Amino acid sequence: MSLDVPSAGCQDAPILKERGQREVFCGLTGIIWLHRKMQDAFFLVVGSRTCAHLLQSAAGVMIFAEPRFGTAIMEEKDLAGLADAHEELDREVARLLARRPDIKQLFLVGSCPSEVIKLDLARAAERLSETYAPNVRVLNYSGSGIETTFTQGEDACLASMVPDLAETSAESLMIVGALPDVVEDQFRRLFTAMGLDDVRFLPAKEAALAPSVGRNTRFLLAQPFLGDTAAALERRGAQHLAAPFPFGADGTTGWLRRGAEAMGVASADFDAATRIGHERAVQAVAKVAETLRGKSLFFFPDSQLEIPLARFLATECGMVPLEVGSPYIHKGIVGADLALIPGAPLLSEGQDVDLQLERCRTSRPDLSVCGLGLANPLEAEGLATKWAIELVFTPIHGYEQAADLAGLFARPLRRRNMIEAIHPARAS
């Protein structure tokens, strides 16, 4: 006789908390995708030459377009307190805004050096806002590696925008997270097909299109790393709709359904709007999943996308997560995905990189998802890897991208199969 108790997935599984050395990019990285999304914004990093190099190499050199990010480089005299950094910053901003009347939102972005000398960018943003209002809104946030991992830069940026959003008492649905335009348009069409034709997005493409917020605003997070933004919206009275994240066919349907139900969409209208997209995504993922099914998976903590992706790869692609590491595990945000992860993978929060590498070497997963710094050493040891950073530079949300998302994980496995076929000696 056996007892059939419905499983709560990993929702109540113990979490290994590690607080050792970690290997992640800093929050400045978010500027790369944020500046593409917010077309009248400029990101002015107050930092060092290292920060400028990071941005240049991550973004590539733009030859034809005027860049919408830059670095006010702090020199030794600034760091030694020999110059008034506020005066210099004011001069740089004045030069920039005189040359670039297209800028409507200016973000002063803190870095490690500006944090170390305790340069008060909040005060600078307030002062500059008064000078340039109403044409330019000046905000500030920190992208410093001391304070943020690479996706937290977006969280800090969006959270800084929330207090400035206009107040509304209207019933409304807001989607929170910087989505590529193509994905935003797809979601907009799906909501419109359900009868929700005024769904708003944060961040908007332009400052003038920013959503309003109030007690009757419900919001769906499009990214799991937006904890501070969610808290800031809740302080404005908005209600978070907890849902699985829109990765894959089922994740997308679960996420859309949560929004639809909260806005009173009839279930027949929801089904009519989503059925075809869902079925197409299931079929497209199934083809790619042939490479993934039964393969084991190990997530190093990096993007905070790890738990929703583990859910997608396990439930829709048949992979077997061995360890799911994430920089932070916020159950109020990723709880719906956690509850769906089957089996008993080790859940880990934070990092102690040497200990985690040992666990990875011991379990020898078929695929390890990790940052750039760990990928090469693991590949050299014969382990296939996927760079986590690609997951934020590639459109991966929604029905249309479901197979591409699965494909991102299938590619390194196919590559390793080919290497092993050509050089069997490197297989071990």
Question: Angle CA(270)–CA(273)–CA(275) in degrees, nearest 5?
Answer: 95
Q: Does 144 bind ligand SF4 (CB under 6 A)?
A: yes
What are the C-alpha distances in Å from 89 to residues 41, 76, 95, 143, 183?
18, 15, 10, 17, 36
Q: Quick one: which of 85, 112, 136, 285 contacts ligand SF4 (CB under 6 A)? A: 112
Q: Which residues pair with residue 201 across a beta bridge?
A: 175
- Closest contact distance (angstroms) between CB of 157 and ligand SF4 is 14
Which residue type is seen at 422? I
Instruction: Indicate if the alpha-carbon torsion angle 60, 53, 204, 229 is positive or negative.
Output: positive
H helical segments located in 263-389: 267-292, 306-315, 331-338, 353-363, 372-380
Count the residues of the shown chain that bind ligand SF4, applying the rule CB under 6 A: 12
Q: Does 392 bind ligand SF4 (CB under 6 A)?
A: no
Tell the burial category of 66 from Cβ atoms under 10 Å away from its Cβ (0-12, 13-18, 19+).
exposed
Q: What is the largest CA-CA distance in the chain?
A: 79
Q: Does 140 bind ligand SF4 (CB under 6 A)?
A: no
Q: Which residue lies nearer to ligand SF4 by CB, 51 or 176?
A: 51
Residue 186: count of CB within 10 angstroms of its CB: 20
Contact 389, 371 (CB under 8 A): yes
- Closest contact distance (angstroms) between CB of 26 and ligand SF4 is 3
Region near ligand SF4 per CB under 6 A, out of 44-52, 85-93, 227-235, 392-400: 44-52
Contact 93, 128 (CB under 8 A): yes
Q: Does 56 bind ligand SF4 (CB under 6 A)?
A: no
Q: Does 54 bind ligand SF4 (CB under 6 A)?
A: yes
Q: Which residue lies nearer to ligand SF4 by CB, 143 or 246?
A: 143
Q: Does 109 bind ligand SF4 (CB under 6 A)?
A: no
Instruction: Give the orientation angle of helix 267-292 with respect to helix 181-193, to 10 degrees.
Output: 140
Q: Indicate the DSSP class of residue 265.
A: -
Q: Does 149 bind ligand SF4 (CB under 6 A)?
A: no
- Closest contact distance (angstroms) between CB of 32 and ligand SF4 is 13
Measured CA to CA, the distance from residue 194 to residue 293 in angstroms comes to 34
Residue 168: both structure tokens together: 């509304």
Measured from each CB, the residue nearest to ligand SF4 is 145
Q: Quick one: which of 39, 50, 56, 168 contacts ligand SF4 (CB under 6 A)? A: 50
- Closest contact distance (angstroms) between CB of 159 and ligand SF4 is 18
Q: Does 148 bind ligand SF4 (CB under 6 A)?
A: no
Interacting residues with ligand SF4 between 22 and 41 (CB under 6 A): 26, 28
Q: Quick one: which of 10, 38, 41, 51 contacts ligand SF4 (CB under 6 A)? A: 51
Q: Which residue lies nearer to ligand SF4 by CB, 136 or 157?
A: 157
Region near ligand SF4 per CB under 6 A, out of 50-58, 295-303, 319-327, 340-348: 50-58
Q: Please report, as ranges, the residues that interact with ligand SF4 according to CB under 6 A.
A: 26, 28, 47-48, 50-51, 54, 111-112, 143-145
